[in-house]
Amino acid sequence: MSAAPALSSFEVAADALRQREFTRLAAAVVPTVDALRLLNGQQLRVRVAAMLERLGHELLTPETAADFVTMKDGNKYVVAFASPNELAPTPLGQLSRLHSVVVAANAVAGYFITPRGFTLDAEAYAATAPLKLVDGPKLVASITRSMAGVTLPDSYQAMCRQCGEIVQHRLDHAEAIPCRNGHPVAPTIARAALVMPKQEGGSTSSRTYTPPRRYSRQEVRAHNAKYQARMRKRKPRTAAPSPDHLPELGLENDGGEF
Ligand SMILES: [Zn+2]
Query: Same domain, yes or no, for 107 and 232?
Result: yes
Query: Same domain, yes or no, for 56 and 144?
Result: yes
DSSP E strand stretches across the chain: 58-59, 68-72, 75-81, 109-113, 131-134, 155-159, 166-170, 177-178, 184-185
Query: Same domain, yes or no, for 87 and 189?
Result: no
| Ligand 1 midpoint to CA 178 (Å) | 7
Domain ranges, residue 178: 4-27+152-194
Residue 244 inside a domain? The answer is: no
Name the domain boundary from 162, 194, 226.
194
| Ligand 1 midpoint to CA 94 (Å) | 50
| Ligand 1 midpoint to CA 26 (Å) | 26
| Ligand 1 midpoint to CA 11 (Å) | 12
Report pLDDT for 134. 97
Round the average pLDDT of the chain to a whole number and report it. Answer: 83
Query: Same domain, yes or no, for 131 and 218?
Result: yes
Query: Same domain, yes or no, for 78 and 181?
Result: no
pLDDT band at 211 (very low <50, low <70, confident <90, very high): very low
User: By the 8 A CB rule, do 87 and 215 touch?
Assistant: yes
pLDDT value at 217 more than 70? no
Residue 139 inside a domain? The answer is: yes
Query: Same domain, yes or no, for 129 and 9?
Result: no
The SS3 assignment for 111 reads strand
CATH number of the domain that 224 lies in?
A: 3.40.1350.10
Query: Same domain, yes or no, for 20 and 50?
Result: no
The residues placing their C-beta within 5 Å of ligand 1, an ion, are 160, 162-163, 165, 179, 181, 183
pLDDT digits (tens, 9 = 90+) for 66-121: 999 999 999 999 999 999 888 899 999 999 999 999 999 999 999 999 999 999 99
Report pLDDT for 33. 93
| Ligand 1 midpoint to CA 19 (Å) | 19
| Ligand 1 midpoint to CA 158 (Å) | 11
| Ligand 1 midpoint to CA 182 (Å) | 6
Q: State the sign of the Cα–Cα–Cα–Cα dihedral 99, 103, 104, 110.
A: positive
Q: How many Å from the N-terminal Cα to the C-terminal Cα in the chain?
A: 57
pLDDT band at 234 (very low <50, low <70, confident <90, very high): low
| Ligand 1 midpoint to CA 195 (Å) | 29
pTM of the full structure: 0.65
CB count in 10 Å sphere of residue 107: 19
Residue 255 inside a domain? The answer is: no
Query: Same domain, yes or no, for 111 and 218?
Result: yes
- Among 23, 51, 52, CA closest to 39: 23
| Ligand 1 midpoint to CA 183 (Å) | 4
Residue 203, CA distances (Å) to 59, 200, 206, 213 in order: 36, 6, 6, 16
| Ligand 1 midpoint to CA 240 (Å) | 68
Residue 248 inside a domain? The answer is: no
| Ligand 1 midpoint to CA 165 (Å) | 5
pLDDT digits (tens, 9 = 90+) for 25-63: 988 889 999 989 988 999 899 999 999 999 999 999 999
How many distinct structural domains can be found in the chain? 2
Query: Same domain, yes or no, for 38 and 94?
Result: yes
